[in-house]
Amino acid sequence: MKKIATIILLAAAATATADACTSMIVGGRASASGRPLLWKHRDSSGDMNFVEHTAATDSTRAFSALYNGGDSLLLDAWAGVNDAGFAVMNTASYNLAPDTARLRDREGAVMALALGRCATVADFEQLLRTLPRPMGVQANFGVIDAHGGAAYFETDDHGFTRFDVDDTPEGVLIRTNYSCSGTPDAGMGYIRYDNACALASDAIAAGAVTPELLTEGLSRSFYHSLLGRDAAADTTVRWVVDQDFIPRRSSVASVVVEGCAPGDDPAAAVMWTVIGYPPCGHVVPATASAVPDELRPLLPGFTSHAAQENRRLMRLAFPIERGSGSHYIDMQALRPIIDAQRALSLKAYGEYRATPQNNQ
């Protein structure tokens, strides 16, 4: 295992890491379906994302995962699910022990390895224990499995702290870009954390969190907890500064893995995926065994049709290119895009769930 891990980690030496993300793990008792949810709203300099499937081998599991555009060797997985119903994602953490100068930005390689090897949360913990040190990671890894396991692993170069969803009263954990086990008041994402808590609080209290709440609510929301207002709801406002919302100009995907309840077929896990800037994209479902062509890297540059279309719409939301204009959102242009893309997402959710083979 150590030899295999070392080879994979070294192969990813030149790849980019996630810059900032917002995430949530929802245990089965807090979700409307009784199935666990693993949500990652991804921010990164690695854009034009795609989803691709990797077939099983004699020693690895089949899985589907999110990748940066151009990652033709599928080295770095940024969220994914495998044929055992195991799923993993991460958020970068900026208040853990610093990167070593020699080894860094290996989170995607670790997750690709985990998807090929792990079936349970316990397997993932064992993987972290056996990886060579330093691991080259500073991250909150979120994982769920088909046996009721759900946890974050706040991980640095030399170790980790585990936080289990079952240890919380609500059955929900949220992470942005700081770790609870790290240096207090350091790191990033405190306002986005409060945004997520406020937007999801009613559903969490009711035990009724859904994938739709996450992709169609939080990932499209311009609620700002510090200012106490929703920039998208006030239709008298046109220009909005892109600062401390869950969706940011750097957002490149929103993924919810809806896992399996204990005893269910692991193949029932589904990866609800929005490629690109989430307010300008729509959900496309994928599984550990099948990825629709819209998400796959079928275009030159090893990117997806979904990413290309999203970029076209995103230019309408961020139309100013000179000076500091890229920091300003044209909400007048974006609001109808959000409405249209949300409608496509809700149609995709409904059609997938109405198909008998997806509900066995």
pLDDT band at 360 (very low <50, low <70, confident <90, very high): low
Average pLDDT over all residues of the chain: 94
Is 70 exceeded by the pLDDT of residue 42? Answer: yes
What is residue 99's predicted lDDT score, i.e. its pLDDT? Answer: 75
d(CA 191, CA 5): 36
Strand partners for 54: 63
Identify which of 305, 246, 252 has the alpha carbon closest to the alpha carbon of residue 78.
252
The domain in which residue 38 lies consists of 2-359
Which residues, in sequence order, are CB contacts of 204 under 8 Å at separation 6+?
Answer: 26, 30, 170, 172
What is residue 281's predicted lDDT score, i.e. its pLDDT? Answer: 98
Tokens of 270: 């589904």
pLDDT tens for each residue of 87-144: 999 999 999 988 777 888 999 999 999 999 999 999 999 999 999 999 999 999 999 9
What is residue 20's predicted lDDT score, i.e. its pLDDT? Answer: 84
Tokens of 262: 């204990």
pLDDT tens for each residue of 229-270: 999 999 999 999 999 999 999 999 999 999 999 999 999 999
Q: Cβ-count burial of 138 within 10 angstroms (0-12 exposed, 13-18 middle, 19+ buried)?
A: buried
Report the alpha-carbon angle 63-143-248, nearest 5: 90
pLDDT tens for each residue of 313-354: 999 999 999 999 999 999 999 999 999 999 999 999 999 999
Is 70 exceeded by the pLDDT of residue 17? Answer: no
Identify which of 239, 210, 8, 253 has the alpha carbon closest to the alpha carbon of residue 109.
8
d(CA 321, CA 298): 29
Which residues, in sequence order, are CB contacts of 78 under 8 Å at separation 6+?
Answer: 18, 40, 42, 44, 46, 49, 65, 66, 67, 68, 89, 90, 108, 111, 253
d(CA 190, CA 186): 9
What is residue 97's predicted lDDT score, i.e. its pLDDT? Answer: 86
Write the single-letter amino acid at 236: T
Domain containing residue 26: CATH number? 3.60.60.10
Q: Is the bond preceding residue 134 a cis peptide, omega within 30 degrees?
A: yes
Number of domains in the chain: 1
Q: What is the pTM of this model?
A: 0.94
